[in-house]
Homo-oligomer: A and B are copies of this chain.
């Protein structure tokens, strides 16, 4: 009986109980991912390790991610226990300190840095920028900044810095009533930035606005936050390991079990001058596309159903045709944010939050 997880030098696909990577390396054998072990080279910054960020971090750590750099300035309270990850014995610790301890215990192969600081403060600007620029395992820029914050100011800070540094990032948010959430993948110049058209569900003003309003605290559920964290981490894996269709804006409505997938185009009159510069550069083709190419032929999904199983299904009156068992990549809905057509934008944005 082992009680401590030792570091592992090389990921193995061997099928044995003591191999923590066997079921991840199996993604290769099953034709989903071409080279799973590349995950050990990736690094990301996670800003905000609350109900979404901590769970997203845990998922990436369990997947064997290379390096995570965590930012948060909150301490753990009993009032946080309605979301996954933190436990009552950690009350009073800073979230990043507790997260680092838990994550290192789960998978010591992952390099974790933790900073209990507010990225919105002027005095932390240089530190945060240098971590984006030189935080990877090879001292280059990180692969992604992952935003799991709960306020508008922090999102706008991340947006401004990522536009400035031309840094790819993913945004996430859950509504105040815990009934909806979204993830958004932002490629400066190529997709809308957070300032081009902030999604309705998170756009709020001011730091403390959402926390307390007339003695009413925001509602939250481990379900909605866990689902959003899962969709976010899944999108990180899909983008970095190049499988499946990456989401650019994926919204979840818990009341209606409704999910919508779309893409916001950048706004040529965005208030952020660096966003406009990135757009011009992309449009002049000085900057080529950074969207992952679908290596469709190389990682095509095989139907998981054998001839024998198919016969069994026929007893239930269920048969298969090409459309049912093979996957095809369908283009996502694109939404234009150019402000010369505001009425259109309204209608298009509105349709994201409506039932098909």
Are A177 and B301 in contact, with the CB atoms below 8 A?
A: yes
Is residue A169 contacting chain B, with contact meaning CB distance below 8 A?
no
Q: Please, how many angstroms separate the alpha-carbon atoms of A63 and B84 in the complex?
A: 10
A43 within 8 A of B: no
Report if A105-B79 is in contact (Cβ < 8 Å); known contacts: A317-B345, A319-B346, A346-B319: no
A23 at the interface (CB under 8 A from B): yes
Residues of B within 8 A of A220 (CB): 23-24, 26
Tell me whether B105 and A84 are in contact (CB under 8 A).
no
10 residue pairs, one from A and one from B, having the closest CB atoms: A5-B88, A1-B92, A227-B230, A244-B255, A26-B219, A17-B77, A223-B234, A226-B230, A324-B350, A317-B342
A84/B59 in contact, CB under 8 A: yes
Give the interface size bracket for A toward B.
35 or more
A355 within 8 A of B: yes
In the assembled complex, A212 has its CB within 8 A of some CB on chain B: yes
Q: Which stretch, A27-35, A127-135, A153-161, A276-284, touches the partner chain B? A: A27-35
Could you jot down 23 A-B contacts, CB within 8 Å? A5-B88, A16-B79, A22-B79, A23-B219, A26-B217, A29-B216, A32-B178, A59-B84, A59-B222, A63-B223, A88-B105, A200-B313, A203-B313, A205-B308, A221-B234, A230-B230, A245-B256, A253-B327, A255-B301, A256-B329, A318-B346, A321-B346, A324-B349
**Copies of this chain, whole number:** 2
Which B residues are CB-close (under 8 A) to A230? 222-224, 226-227, 230
Interface residues of A (CB under 8 A from B): 1-5, 15-24, 26-27, 29-32, 55, 58-59, 62-63, 77-79, 81-84, 87-89, 91-92, 105-107, 175-179, 197-198, 200, 203-205, 212, 215-224, 226-227, 229-231, 233-234, 237-238, 243-245, 247, 250, 253-259, 261, 301, 304-305, 308-309, 312-313, 316-321, 323-324, 327-330, 337, 339, 342, 345-346, 349-350, 353-356
